[in-house]
Chains A and B, each alone.
Chain A
Amino acid sequence: MKLKINGVERQVAADWQNENLLTVLREHFGLTGSRFSCGIGQCGACLVHVDGIPMTSCLIPVSEVVDKDVLTIEGLAAEDGTLHPLQQAWVDERVPQCGYCQSGQIMQALALLQNTPQPDDADIDRAMSGNLCRCGTYTRIRKSIKKAALVMKEAG
């Protein structure tokens, strides 16, 4: 059983083939940036992209993503460590408090900007309202998305 995670092909060992994608990412491959929070696809803390589509990895059996491309938060920054504009905006606006949900928030924001490069408030509400943040960092998330959108537009 193979899948591609952040551009690298990985083999899922036999013991882990009955698990969901989140468990395999975290416990088998040690990619712990995607996090378990609700377990029923209601909060977005485990959000990753599968073939470019944002999905809550706690709900997907790993067997369903065989041979697919999975992008996790660990694959977002450039190889030289340069942060993605979204990550940089998150730092500049000092978004995280406890931080537990923020990987999922950033991955959802990435999907939003891929579909809607210049989102307005209503777009952000629609796209981001499935990603919960108990600390209540929403105002800074909103600001960061708009900021990253501008940076990405200027960079072309």
Chain B
Amino acid sequence: MVQLTRRNFLIATGWVAGGVTVLYTLRNRAVAVAPTIIIPNKESGAAWVQIRSDGSCLMYFTRVEMGQNANTGLAQIVAEELNIELEDIEAVQPSTSDIAPIAVTAGSMSLTAFSRPTAMAAATLRESMRALAAVKLGEPLSMILDDAGGFQTADKRKVSYADLVDKDSVMVEFDDTKPSPALYTFDPQRSKKQVGRDATPIGIRGLVTGAAVYTADVPMQGVLYGRAIKPPVRSARIASLDTSGVAETSGFVELVRQGEFVGVVCKTPSALDAAMSKINVTWDLKIPINQDEIDRLIDVDAEMADGDLEHVLQDEAHRKDADWLIDLRFDVQTQSHAAQEPRAAIARFGDGSGAHKLEIWTGSQDPWGMKRFAAMDTGLSEDDVVVYAKRLGGGFGGREHYEVERDAVILARAVKRPVKVQWTRKDEFTASRCRPASAHRLRIATDDAGNLSDWWYGYITGHVVFSRERLPGWLLPVARLAGDMGVVKGALAPYSAPHQRVEYKDVDLPIDLGVWRSLNGAPAIFAIESAMDELAVQQGMDPVDFKIAQMKGKQPRLQVCLERVREMSGRRSLPHGSGYGRGFACGIFDDRSFVAVSADIHVDEIAQEIKVLHMCCVQDVGMAVNPDQLRAQAEGNMAWSVGMALLERFEVADDEIKSSNYDNYAIVRMSDMPSVDVEVVDQPSIPPAGAGEVALVAGPPAIANAIRNATGFRALRLPIAFADISS
């Protein structure tokens, strides 16, 4: 029954116009409240790869593209399995009607979750083609050998994929009762042609010629321009609203009020700006918005003085009264995504003649989620809604929610014309679901030999995944009881101590919170790596030697990263003179991604600034499908590390979000950027793990430790300002 549906589905959407397609059947359905969570496996998935009757290969991108270039890595896998070149693959970003639902693009999971199913799909296709080749050549299957773009026999009789595919549609169904075909990608003995090489990202030409199409670039006949007001927090209610003069604006089309939603549609962007500027609104807030309130809520010391924190991650022979050598509190600031593209969506309601009643163009990390939410929001059936996933101008965890899409849908419905909504930069900051501020208390004691004996780490952070803005109210208590997986990232140190306790509490803060690159990983590891560095320095030990010793041989991959980054950084000597320092840090993200970073810094007394001169990064995320793109992600993470350590500070005061644009929320510029060397540890026999956010966990503490090395100043609060050091 399911298979029949899927076949019809495929044929209806034009997948199978002659050709051989791999078909996985789909049995799971995502629940309505959470982001789309279907990860393909043997049982669930979709038809993504097809060899067409001309022998060419069509591949649907299963990931939303936002700069991580995961699809290029997946295309390399397809090319490897099919013995073709990357250029032979036509890659298409599917709409939500083209293929079955696929999980939200988030958490650096793309290659981890998709590499094997993608390889299996392509390998199944290859072996099906081999069977056709055996018939065609009149040889037993075992005599059909691989060849570029097809097969050959030992006596060099060749047959190409094009020779094997006729106009009839053939569906190859994956059957998990049969043995899996050989996966070339995951064979560590095999010398590979596509996997493991520095492939140029698919579609790069469009990015340097301006031809690439982001949401706001989609050409749309008769489009109008709309926008809605954004409250400082989503729980705010309108206290007063004055829209006088809005309708008199030249170019005005419509004012829409629907509960707390107030939006305007105009004929041109400048008319829209003028009309929006005439709206005066005040908000009722449940909690005052200011930094003191945030600081009070995350006061880890007050809470630990009162007793245990709410959640305990680790508790082994804990001793409260150990002789603490390190007893430090670290504070990490709120940060915003500040992606370069202000989010945008276009909505168009059909006249009933087309296949869909509502079309949405958007750069969302979760296109299928957008489809589901739009259907719920409008009362349409899901089959009536289609979402065209566009490239994102940066995601970083901030593009999973049905928001700008909702703005466009409400306004387009009201005016019965297509409406394009692009948030202003101020909207982006005001409605930011920030990485929460957090406070970390770390206590460490050692035994007579100087090894760790006691470890006590407690922290308080705002919610990450289970923030009140991300889940419906009824689900929150249940979800939070289970623990917020975003909040615990990075909390367990790679070091061994016989007595240890790790505890935490996650709290609501007066601002909206959400997923931000590395989640709690970077804040927690900043605290851990700073504390370990301080302990080593105070004991007169080399911090790298000390950390490796305290891993007790239990973290071989992390140890290799740390050893190699020390060697790498040693190839360049620090300039002579005062104020120069070098620091190291390491960390693990999601148990499977390992990184170590060094930072060379200069605390410049004359220029009154802290300058990061050079960073080295060694990263081991298992198999390196596209080493160049692993390096690119690590380089980006080094920029984010400088920003987190020295620059970024999300400001709130007087019940308002004060950060509003790049002139008052500093992100890293060219002149702030250190030179960066990245080394990738390739592990051909270990499936690829996430690479998008791992290096960010080690960068900030490496910078802080370098400042300690240069000046003796231990940074306890991020971002670090020059004035902090001199005071």
Taking Cβ atoms with an 8 Å cutoff, the residues of A that contact B are: 15-16, 18-20, 23, 26-27, 30-40, 42-43, 45, 72-74, 76-77, 83, 87, 90-91, 94-103, 106, 124-126, 128-142
- Whether B393 and A99, one on each chain, are in contact in the complex, defined by CB atoms closer than 8 angstroms, is yes
Q: What is the total of A-B residue contacts with beta carbons within 8 Å?
A: 173
Interface string of B659-671 (1 = CB under 8 A from A): 0011100011111
| Interchain CB contact under 8 A, B635 and A136 | yes
Q: How far is the CA of A132 from the CA of B424 in the complex (A)?
A: 17
Q: Which residues of B contact A26 (CB under 8 A)?
A: 216-217
B359-401 interface code vs A (CB 8 A; 1 in, 0 out)? 0000000000000000000000000000000011111100000
State A103–B267 Cα separation when bound (angstroms). Answer: 27
B4 CB → nearest A CB, Å: 40
Which residues of the partner chain B approach A30 to less than 8 Å between Cβ atoms?
219
- A58, chain B: closest CB distance, angstroms: 10
Which one of A32, A36, A97 has the greatest number of beta carbons of chain B within 10 Å? A97
Alpha-carbon separation in the docked complex, A128 to B669 (Å): 8
What would be 15 A-B contacts, judged by CB atoms less than 8 Å apart?
Answer: A18-B270, A32-B213, A74-B211, A83-B205, A90-B208, A94-B204, A97-B632, A98-B392, A100-B214, A129-B670, A130-B669, A134-B337, A134-B396, A135-B394, A140-B632
**Residues in chain B near residue A135, CB distance under 8 A:** 67, 340, 394, 636, 639
Is A37 in contact with B341, judged by CB distance below 8 angstroms? yes
> Is B210 an interface residue when CB atoms closer than 8 A count as contact?
yes
B592 shortest CB reach to chain A, Å? 22
Residues of A within 8 A of B636 (CB): 97, 135-137
Q: Flag if B394 contacts A134 (CB, 8 Å).
A: yes
Q: Is the CB of B210 within 8 A of A42?
A: no
Q: B634's closest neighbor in chain A, by CB? A: A136
Check A132–B200 contact: CB distance below 8 A. Answer: no
Residues of B within 8 A of A76 (CB): 209
Say yes or no: A138 contacts B639, CB within 8 Å.
Answer: yes
Q: Would you call A139 and B676 a contact (CB within 8 A)?
A: yes
Interface of A is mostly: loop
Residue of A nearest to B213 (CB): A32
User: CB distance B269 to A23 under 8 Å?
Assistant: yes
Top 8 A-B residue pairs of the complex, sorted by shortest distance between their CB atoms: A33-B210, A136-B639, A100-B393, A97-B67, A98-B67, A32-B217, A73-B210, A99-B207
Q: Mark B114-150, 1 if CB is under 8 A from A, else 0.
A: 0000000000000000000000000000000000000
* A69 shortest CB reach to chain B, Å: 18
Given A18-B268, A129-B669, does the pair A96, B210 have CB atoms closer than 8 Å? no
B217: which A residues are within 8 A, CB to CB?
A: 26, 32, 35
Number of interface residues of B (CB under 8 A): 60
A138 and B615 alpha carbons, distance in the complex (Å)? 13
Task: Among A18, A23, A94, A126, point to the contact of B632 (Cβ < 8 A).
Answer: A94
Known: A97-B68, A97-B636. 11 other contacts (CB 8 A): A15-B267, A19-B269, A32-B217, A83-B205, A90-B207, A98-B66, A98-B392, A125-B670, A129-B671, A136-B638, A138-B673
Write the nearest CB–CB distance from B66 to chain A, whole angstroms. Answer: 5
A37 touches B340 (CB 8 A): yes
Task: Say yes or no for B349: interface residue by CB 8 A criterion.
Answer: no
Please, what's the 1-or-0 string for B404-435, where 1 marks a CB less than 8 Å from any CB in chain A? Answer: 00000000000000000010110000000000
In the bound assembly, the distance between CA atoms of A100 and B673 in angstroms comes to 19
Cβ distance A28 to chain B, nearest Cβ, rounded Å: 9
Which of A40, A42, A91, A124 sits near B208, CB closer than 8 Å? A91
Q: Quick check: B67 and A35 within 8 Å, CB to CB?
A: no
Report yes or no: A98 in contact with B393, Cβ–Cβ below 8 A: yes
The residue that A131 contacts in the complex, of B208, B268, B670, with Cβ under 8 A, is B670
B201 lies within 8 A of chain A by Cβ? yes
A37 → chain B closest CB, angstroms: 5
If A96-B67, A100-B341 touch, whether A32 touches B425 (CB-CB below 8 Å) is no
Asked if B342 is an interface residue, CB under 8 A from chain A, the answer is: yes
- Taking CB atoms and an 8 Å cut-off, the chain B residues in 608-635 that contact chain A are 628-629, 632-633, 635
- Chain A, residue nearest B638 (CB): A136
Contact with A along B213-254 (1 / 0, CB 8 A): 110110100000000000000000000000000000000000
Q: Which listed residue (A42, A139, A142) contacts B662, Cβ 8 A?
A: A42
Considering only CB atoms, which chain B residue lies closest to A39 in the complex? B425
Of B205, B269, B340, B628, which is within 8 A of A98 by CB? Answer: B340
- Is A97 within 8 A of B69, CB to CB? yes
Give A124 Cβ to nearest chain B Cβ, in Å.
7
Which residues on the A side are within 8 Å of B646 (C-beta)? Answer: none
What residue in chain A is nearest B201 (Cβ atoms)?
A94
In the assembled complex, the Cα of A91 lies from the Cα of B261 at a distance in Å of: 43
The distance in angstroms between the C-alpha atoms of A139 and B677, with both chains bound, is 10
A36 touches B422 (CB 8 A): yes
Identity of the chain A residue whose Cβ is nearest the Cβ of B669 in the assembled complex: A129
Task: Check if B392 sits within 8 Å of A128, measured CB to CB.
Answer: no
Which residues on B sit within 8 Å (CB–CB) of A137? 632, 635-636
Residues of B within 8 A of A18 (CB): 268, 270
Task: Tell whether, in the assembled complex, residue A33 and residue B211 are in contact, meaning their CB atoms are under 8 Å apart.
Answer: yes
Q: Give the CA-CA distance A30 to B219 in the complex, in Å.
A: 7
Given contacts A43-B340, A94-B628, A96-B204, contact A23 B268 (CB under 8 A): yes
B534 to chain A, nearest CB (A): 28
Question: Within the complex, what minimum Cβ distance (angstroms) separates B352 from chain A?
Answer: 28
Q: Shortest distance in angstroms between A47's beta carbon and chain B's nearest beta carbon?
A: 12
Q: Which residues of B contact A20 (CB under 8 A)?
A: 270
| Residue among B205, B207, B216, B217 facing the most chain A CB atoms (10 A cut-off) | B207
Question: Does B637 have its Cβ within 8 Å of any Cβ on chain A?
Answer: yes
Residues of A with C-beta under 8 A to B211: 33, 74
Q: Does B209 lie within 8 Å of A136, measured CB to CB?
A: no
